[in-house]
Amino acid sequence: MKDKNHFLPLLIDMSDKKVVIFGSGSVGERKANLFSEYSSVTVVSRSFSDTFFELERKNHITLIEADAGKLTDDDVNKIIEDAFLVIPATNDRTINERIVELSKAFNILTNEVDAIGDVTVPAVIKRGDLTISISTTGSSPAFSRFTRQQVEKIITPEFADMIRIQGEMRPYLKKEVPNQRDRKDILWDILESKEVWDGLEESYEKGFKIAQDIVRKKISEKVR
């Protein structure tokens, strides 16, 4: 039994990684859609719907038409050996378990669709540079989806704008304000400023200008 307290969300650069998915049913399709946005994907299945050929045209995705039950261990190993993550998503548990076993021999991470593997896939919200990941560690995927929909309602476009302001101010403050604690205080003054948030509702430039005024005022206070 896995200890759910040991699952840590991390952001991984997937751009140079390979993900291998077995099965192209509703689950294989959802995983292929998700992962092909981030990494190169290989899907092994008995047959493929048009969605997969569409994805093949759009993203870096390789389709291998094969019955995984008829592939030898060597055949499977050749497909998975350079993978970062393997997702056995057929509806045949025996096949899924065999693929997990072969992956483990190479120390490759697995995402198991019928259990908690080494990796579980969260519901994801992406807005500009903000990434929010939601998981119940397998207890209720529907609840993860539900939470994503609730949280999406409160993430206004101003969130991405505020991140942009902070991203622009940080290098400036690193040059102008020697003390880290002072820099932190100024960034928090901007984050908690109702005027900045209200300004952003009008335009990015308006919010940015108000934030700049805060920075100037604070720097002159700190220097004095």
Ligand X SMILES: C[C@@]1(CC(=O)O)c2cc3[nH]c(cc4nc(cc5[nH]c(cc(n2)[C@H]1CCC(=O)O)[C@@](C)(CC(=O)O)[C@@H]5CCC(=O)O)C(CC(=O)O)=C4CCC(=O)O)c(CCC(=O)O)c3CC(=O)O
Scan residues 141-160 and list those touching ligand NAI (CB under 6 A): 141
3-state DSSP of 13-70: CCCCCEEEEECCCHHHHHHHHHHCCCCEEEEEECCCCHHHHHHHHHCCEEEEECCHHH
DSSP 130: E
Q: Which is nearer to ligand NAI, 22 or 197 (CB)?
A: 22
Q: Does 123 engage in binding with ligand X (CB under 6 A)? A: yes
Q: Which is nearer to ligand X, 150 or 203 (CB)?
A: 150
Neighbour-count burial of 79, counting CB atoms closer than 10 A to its CB (0-12 exposed, 13-18 middle, 19+ buried): buried
Q: Which is nearer to ligand NAI, 139 or 156 (CB)?
A: 139
Q: Does 137 engage in binding with ligand X (CB under 6 A)? A: yes
Q: Does 76 engage in binding with ligand X (CB under 6 A)? A: no
Q: Does 39 engage in binding with ligand X (CB under 6 A)? A: no
Smallest Cα–Cα separation from 20: which of 120, 110, 101, 95?
110
Q: How many CA atoms lie within 13 A of 23 on its CB side?
A: 19
> Which one among 7, 128, 132, 141 touches ligand X, defined by CB under 6 A?
141
Size of the site for ligand NAI (CB under 6 A): 20
Span of 96-104, 141-149, 168-176, 202-210 interacting with ligand X by CB under 6 A: 141-149
Q: Does 145 engage in binding with ligand X (CB under 6 A)? A: yes
CA separation for the pair 169, 186 (Å, rounded): 9
Q: Which residues bind ligand X (CB under 6 A)?
A: 30, 34, 111, 113-114, 116, 120-123, 135-142, 144-145, 148
